[in-house]
Amino acid sequence: MLARILTACVLIPLVVALVWWGPSWLLALAAAIVALLALVEFLNLGEQAGLRSFRKWTLLCAAGVFYAQYTQGLIETRPFGHGVSIVQVRAVGAISVEAVFLIFVFGAAVIVLAMRRPLRESLAAIAISSAGLLFVAFPFSYLVLLDEMSRTGRVLVLFTLVLIWVGDTFAYFTGKAIGRLPMAPALSPKKTWEGATANLIGAILVAVGFSYWLQIDIWALIAIAGVANIAGQIGDLLESAYKRAANMKDSGSLLPGHGGMLDRIDSLVLASPVVWAAYWWLAMR
């Protein structure tokens, strides 16, 4: 517990300072590095489960996903007359996420043919490499898109981080104190429904606090926090499933008291795109 608290005391102020004062490119770079570290751990779990990936190619394409998300924020579309828009790209070499995924697909196909692995190994490599992009790098990259939202970007990123941090803290201490009903004993025996409920309540309280800061309808933000929190808890359970498959307690040992990077961001991975989509749907209409 002491190591867990000390690590949080060091990292949280650094992350908040980066989100609030750092330039967008630095936040995108930091998010990409975090995602790549988590992706390495994910691929390690895959190897423990007997799935050997195309590691270098997967990491390269994951970095491409973050670059693509960052360049999307540098594309401005302005209406000009009836049904006419002007698109201005403020980045050299802008690329779409779809293009990155296509490059990944064709690159993986070339690797399969060039390396001549046994068919069983090739299919396993494609499967775990694709899963790493789809279940770790791509959803987590939505933090970059959140940051690029006009006027509210930095606050939305901070909102996403805080609702996960507070929810996890509420869940941990509530589960320790009064947790009795197992939530998913096959995946994570220590998680309880009491802790999950406290997790959701913590996220709702964060929404109440941020509603005045974001200046949007409080019920809309509560709804956003609620669905994001549920997505985050699903992400947490999903990562537990990865570790169970690999027969590992933690995804790594990079962060004292917290395990690996994937252990630390598992909830954020699925919560980030949900906050982005829900905010566009409920607050930007």
Q: Hey, what are 120's tokens?
A: 């069983």
Unique residue bearing structure tokens 């949080």: 8
Is residue 84 in some structural domain? no
Domain that holds residue 162: 2-77+93-282
Q: Provide the pLDDT for residue 214.
A: 86
Q: How many residues does the chain have?
A: 285
Q: Per residue of the chain (285 residues), what is the pLDDT tens digit? A: 677 788 888 889 999 999 999 999 999 999 999 999 999 999 999 999 989 999 999 999 999 999 999 998 776 555 544 554 444 455 567 899 999 999 999 999 999 989 877 878 889 999 999 999 999 999 999 999 999 887 788 999 999 999 999 999 999 999 999 999 999 988 888 899 999 999 999 999 999 999 888 888 999 999 999 999 999 999 999 999 999 999 998 888 888 777 899 999 999 999 999 999 999 988 765
Chain centroid to Cα 195, Å, comes to: 21
Evaluate whether 239 touches 251 at the Cβ level (below 8 Å).
yes
How far is the CA of 62 from the CAs of 67, 102, 113, 121, in angstroms?
A: 9, 12, 22, 21
Is residue 209 in some structural domain? yes
Q: Which of 133, 126, 140, 125 is nearest to 30 (CA)?
A: 140
Q: Alpha-carbon distance 264 to 167, whole Å?
A: 13
Is residue 83 in some structural domain? no
Is residue 82 in some structural domain? no
Is residue 86 in some structural domain? no
Q: Alpha-carbon distance 134 to 139, whole Å?
A: 7
Is residue 85 in some structural domain? no
Q: Provide the pLDDT for residue 92.
A: 61
Is residue 87 in some structural domain? no
Is residue 128 in some structural domain? yes
Domain count, the chain: 1
Q: Provide the pLDDT for residue 89.
A: 52
